[in-house]
Structure 1
Amino acid sequence: MLQIDIEPREGWEERLLELGFDFYEVSSKHPYWCENQYFQLSREQVDHIDNVTEKLHELAIQAVAHVFDNDLLHLFGLPEKHYDLLRRSWTNDKSYLYGRFDFSWDGIGDPKMLEYNAQTPTSLFELSVAAWDWMRQLVAEGKLPHHADQFNLLDERIITQFAYLREAKDLESMILHFACDETSSEDRRTVYYLAQCAEEVGFETVIVDINEIQLSVDHKFLDHNSKQIFNLFSLYPYEFMLLDCYGDFIEESGCKFIEPIWKVLLSSKALLPIMWKLNPGHPNLLACYFSNEKEAGLIEHRVTKPIYSREGANIQIKFKEEMVEGTVGNYGNEGFITQEYAPLAQFKNGWVVIGSWVIGKTGCGISFRESDKLITNDVARFVPHIII
């Protein structure tokens, strides 16, 4: 796996804005989109991580089944009053849209699973639209080999999956609402992109700010125009939603969720020690325990993570008892897990986490985030890739 310098495209900022990529920099000091470098992989490397991704997805689903079969919901720090809601969600609806694994991998050894965000993963638009357009332009200009490719099947697979979900969920209405916090440019672009894909298979889509969703007197969810929400894709984390007062009316609302509510478990880092317990020594998993278990203290080089967190917040890396790196934030009330430390691949500008995408049950693409620090945070750079 190589990181290669390349001359930026002329007028690349304007091109990104044409595509709707208005968040290509976090600030003037922190570019988000990387225009002057890319990663190069072989087809064999891509096939390898794709195979690992699909197998780990199967193991993650098996771990969720194990949680329900053995009454382990108390390990996830969720309100007990919603346990029955979660159980019914799992029993009644096992259809879903997408997720993204995060891996430590240098292209040579076994990819190591860091975590799985299977409910609110972003950087989807960046890969599916912006990176694909970047490669096509540079191939056309002769700045990349004419036979260059990308592992980027997201667009067609998402459209296919929406077609499947339309039938699998037995929807009464073809109106599909997409909700996010519209103050986040990245979240807004993600839901707009997904809505465009859903329209390809006949959905009528409505975008709504999560903060403008209302509750009617008969406990139905309403959008900003006071229209009932029958079907909803929400980029709002379910662990937050289940703590919200509206969470008490999820079932009564009659709303069908494109990502079923049980997916909160698939995105929780509480699933990592369960996966390790079920698959000890698996070459693509890291030793992992709940932080209050005695085994957690026996891991010399370890990473402590909140059960729920975003953008690298509240994480600590320790070698024996020496603090190597740590971050602050507002997460951790539900508890922590301790995971074996896996070194990220290091290049001249930082450390890289590889995101591996799953649509339905199928691996469909990889993306690269590069950070100046060992803990990948909200100013990590998105770097495009090609396959040679």
Structure 2
Amino acid sequence: MPVKIDHDSTPFGTELGTAPGGVVSYSSDYDTADEKEYPNRSSYRSYYDGIYMGYKWQCVEFARRWLYINKDYIFNDVSMAYEIFNLRSVRQVSSNSLLPLQAYKNGAQRHPEAGSLLIWEEGGEFVNTGHVAIITEVTQNYVRIVEQNMDFVPWPQGRDYSREIKVKIGSENDFWLQSSASDATILGWMIQTADISHAELQEPDNVALYNLKPATVHNSSNALKPWLNIANPDEFAYVDMMKGHFLTSVEDDHFNYYLMSQSAHEALESATDELHGMFMHATDYVLQRPDLLNTFGLPDAILPRLKQSWDNRLNQLITSRLDFAMSDKGLKVYEYNCDSASCYMEVGKVQGKWAKHMGLKHGEDAGEKLFTELVKAWRECEVKGMVHVLQDTDPEEDYHALFMQSAIEAAGHQCVRVIGLSTLSWDQQGNIVDSMNNKVKWVWKTWAWETALDQLRLEQDQQELRDKIRPPGSVPLLSDVLLRKEIMVFEPLWTLIPSNKAILPVLWSLFPNHPLLLNASFELSEELKTQGYVSKPIVGRCGANIQLIDKNQQLLADKGGAFADRAQIYQQLFTLPKVGKYYVQVCTFTAAGNYAGSGVRVDPSMIIGKDSDCMALRVDDDMSFLDE
């Protein structure tokens, strides 16, 4: 998190002060961190009593540690501090149970109290991140707070708080905190309580706001004209694959789209950011437990490399997609696609252009910001050199790769697209080079990691495959490219963990009864049989080999595929809603782990697969949505 620089700053890890309960605040001046003491990602992870607190020494880490030590509860891990304001529960560590958490906007009639979380909005001095502190004392004139990563300056001797914030109480007993700077905005405070008086209600009063609605554009003569710009390589490739200027493959759907409410959109954004943090926590949990890691069905030879990938702070995520079922029955996540997530161009470009061409004024494009957020992620990812975009010869991968290439280039990086592997070769020094003799050092791929692992599984000497240098001029295997230590790959090797369905039972064990999760287990329990369940191969793609069984043990849906021999997990049955003539899955897309846009995929069956269509998704304000 960016912080203010001060001439009295102290080196990373220096004690700045001690808050009530004996909780120490440390300097987070990352520029002064000793690389010998902090050589990798894991060394920056903070644990207390064996419980993960956060990233050293950020504001979120301090807040979680203070609450644990003083209150015996913690909030779920988040990517950005401002996202805490969307949480509505904390977990009591001693009982592993959820306790209610309420949010109160600055100016609320319920005043903060000692132990309240104080949350700042993203922007200004807290650009992109927001900020969180703990309120330790409340008066009519000021509150005192404790925090980390605000600055690097020691607290005055003998003082157990970092600073005071002025208070003004209005005529309606409304409680106002003065912002610490003109460009920093206090969102409000959070209190662990079941009392919702004066709180910000996250769940809509009308659950119908979580339903999707089918809609149709009025036909016009212009609607049938070409609307994608085939002079742009990605759009030309898309039109070529679709055999025309279509968003969907079904002619009867060329004028159809879906609407969701603003409340649903906000819930999806909050859920995406929270779930990303939960999946990352579960990934670290798995990588620290060899017996649990063995259940993921990965070749033994890659496990050391997998851990190195997670430890490498440069090995960051660029793209990922969460798949949800959303209706008036609730919002539940099915799984997380961190490895080669598809449909970015459909959501980030095509659905918006379709709506503009159709003259659609109703609602706003749910993927409008996706491309901009991708560019931002590439700009901030610390790439140093040319990026090679590697893709297979599948037509869908063609436009997907071109779309990503345009984002990489817009971020200011030189980029070369490689179709197949035949134009790559080994040079005399043992480097993998492209047709122009550029060394391959940074890679973004459309291939799934499992394709490379399948090559690895076929080799008797897996160590040799990972490290060997083949004869000069020969064509490398995909595993040669992706598993070389000197090549940085997006999405990184560690994404094999959160993308694997075996992560779902782990999540349920770490966050039992979390409202966004479905009960999941490595074994088919009686509870799941009673609820109805879904069997999923731990490694699979595009809905392959998934079965849906209801509580009467009747088979509702079954999709074949190439993963029938893989181990299975079992997940609580929570079927997609049927909206109009299709079952509809909502997908949220991230850039560097943060929510960046939404889209839908539809199918006449209950299982979304490779051939399921995308359709345009628009966000409508709540009142209009309910009036239609």
**How does the TM-score come out when normalised to structure 1?**
0.89
1:282-313, CA deviations, whole angstroms, 9 ceiling, x for partnerless residues? 111111112x4656864541111111112211
Q: CA deviation at 1:387?
A: 1.7
1:255 aligns with one of 487, 494, 497: 487
Q: CA deviation at 1:97?
A: 0.2
Deviation (angstroms), 1:265 = 1.1
User: Does residue 242 of structure 1 match 2:462?
Assistant: no
**2:352–2:365 contact (8 Å) kept in structure 1:** no
Aligned residue type for 1:368: V
Over 3 Å counting, the alpha-carbon distance change for 1:367 and 1:148 in structure 2 is closer
Partner of 2:540: 309
Deviation, 1:128, is 1.0
Shift of 1:351: 0.2
Deviations 1:227-267 (CA, angstroms, capped at 9, x unpaired): 42111001111122133256555554511113221011121
**Correspondent of 1:100 among 321, 330, 348:** 321
Change beyond 3 A, Cα 1:4–1:196: same
CA contact 2:426–2:433 (8 Å) conserved in 1: yes
Instruction: Tell me the SS of whatever aligns to 1:386.
Output: strand
> Does structure 2 conserve the Cα–Cα contact (< 8 Å) formed by 1:367 and 1:382?
yes
Q: CA deviation at 1:68?
A: 1.1
The counterpart of 1:205, out of the listed 407, 415, 423, is 415
Question: In structure 1, what is the Cα distance between the partners aligned to 2:496 and 2:425?
Answer: 22
1:4 aligns to 2:178 (yes or no): no
The one-letter code sitting in structure 2 at the alignment partner of 1:82 is I
Q: Which one of 573, 586, 592 corresponds to residue 354 of structure 1?
A: 586
After superposition, the C-alpha distances for 1:86-126 in whole angstroms (9 at most, x for unaligned) are 011111135210100000112x3431111110111111101
Kindly tell me: are residues 347 and 89 of structure 1, through their superposed partners in 2, closer, same or farther at Cα, counting changes over 3 Å?
same
CA contact (8 A) 2:223 2:357 kept: no
Corresponding position of 1:380: 612
Matched residue type, 1:194: M
Q: Is the 8 A contact 2:227 2:354 kept in 1?
A: no
Q: How does 1:42-57 map to 2 (within 5 A)?
A: 42-57=261-276
Contact 1:181 1:210 in 2 (8 A): yes
Q: Residues 23-43 of structure 1: CA distance to partner in whole angstroms, max 9, x if unpaired?
A: 3369x9x81694211111222
CA distance in 2: counterparts of 1:32 and 1:88, whole angstroms: 45
The answer for the alignment partner of 1:230 in structure 2 is 441
Distance 1:163 1:32, change over 3 A: farther
The 3-state SS of whatever aligns with 1:144 is coil
Corresponding position: 1:117 with 2:337: yes
Q: 1:14 aligns with which of 203, 217, 226?
A: 226
Is the Cα–Cα contact under 8 Å of residues 355 and 366 in structure 1 kept in the other structure?
yes
Conserved 8 A contact 2:227-2:353: no
**SS of the residue 2:259 aligns to:** strand
Q: How far 1:152 moved relative to its partner?
A: 2.8
Matches of 1:217 and 1:268 in 2, distance apart? 38
| Structure 1 unaligned blocks of 5 or more | none
Aligned equivalent of 1:63:
282
Task: Give yes or no for contact 2:348–2:369 (8 Å, CA) kept in 1.
Answer: yes
Q: Which has the larger radius of gyration?
A: 2
Alignment of 1:62-211 (within 5 A): 62-71=281-290, 72-93=292-313, 94-106=315-327, 108-138=328-358, 141=359, 143-145=360-362, 148-165=364-381, 167=382, 171=384, 174-182=385-393, 184-211=394-421
1:366 aligns with 2:587: no
**Secondary structure of 2:454's partner?**
coil
2-structure distance, mates of 1:215, 1:298: 54
Whether the aligned pair in 2 keeps the contact of 1:64 and 1:265 (CA below 8 Å) is: yes
Letter of the structure 2 residue corresponding to residue 155 of structure 1: F
Q: Please state how far the C-alpha of 1:76 moved relative to its aligned partner.
A: 1.1
Kindly provide the amino acid, as one letter, of the partner of residue 404 in structure 2: L
Superposition deviation, residue 73 in structure 1: 1.9
Q: Cα deviation per residue 1:355-381 (whole Å; 9 max; x = unaligned)?
A: 011111311111111101011122212
- 1:157-184 CA deviation, whole Å, 9 max, x = no partner? 000000111x2x5x2xx210001112x1
Residue identity in the other structure for 1:3: P
C-alpha displacement of 1:382: 1.0
Distance in 2, Cα, partners of 1:309 & 1:239: 9
Following the alignment from structure 1 to structure 2, what is the Cα–Cα distance between the partners of residues 86 and 43?
40
Amino acid at match of 1:266: P
Q: Which amino acid aligns with 1:243?
A: D
CA RMSD between the two structures: 2.5
In the aligned structure 2, how far is the partner of 1:242 from the partner of 1:32? 36
Alpha-carbon distance, 1:210 to partner:
3.5
8 Å CA contact retained: 1:350, 1:372? yes
Structure 2 residue runs of 5 or longer lacking an equivalent are 1-211, 457-464, 468-479, 621-628
* Secondary structure at 1:353 match in 2: strand
For residues 361 and 297 of structure 1, do their structure 2 counterparts lie closer, same or farther at Cα, with a shift above 3 Å needed?
closer
Residue type matched to 1:157 in 2? E
Q: Is the 8 A contact 1:219 1:253 kept in 2?
A: no
Contact in 1 for aligned 2:336/2:499 (Cα 8 Å): yes
Contact 2:388-2:443 at 8 Å conserved across structures: yes
Distance in structure 2 (CA, Å) of the matches to 1:305 and 1:25:
33
In structure 1, distance between residues paired with 2:243 and 2:533 = 32
> 1:223 offset after TM fit, Å?
3.0
Structure 2 length normalisation: TM-score?
0.56
Question: Which SS does the other structure have where 2:270 is aligned?
Answer: helix
Work out whether 1:283 is the aligned partner of 2:493. no
Partner Cα distance (2:215, 2:223) in 1? 21
Alpha-carbon offset, residue 328 of structure 1:
1.2
Determine helix, strand or coil for the equivalent of 1:356: strand
Larger relative helix fraction: 1
Distance 2:273 2:497 in 1: 18
Structure 1's 88 and 135: CA in aligned 2 closer, same or farther, altered over 3 A?
same
In 1, are the aligned partners of 2:352 and 2:367 still within 8 Å (CA)?
no
For 1:17 and 1:206, the matched residues in 2 are separated by: 22
- Corresponding letter in the other structure for 2:227: R
Between 1:251-260 and 1:194-203, the stretch displaced more is: 251-260
- Distance in 1 (CA, whole Å) between partners of 2:452 and 2:530 is 34
Count residues in correspondence. Answer: 374
CA change 1:269–1:218 in 2 (3 A) is farther
How far apart are residue 151 of structure 1 and its match? 4.5
SS in 2 for 1:119: coil
* Separation in 2, partners of 1:247, 1:237: 17
Q: Single out whichever of 225-234 and 207-216 deviates more from structure 2.
A: 207-216
Partner of 2:105 in structure 1?
A: none
- Deviation >6 Å, runs of 4+: none
Deviation at 1:77, TM superposition (A): 0.7
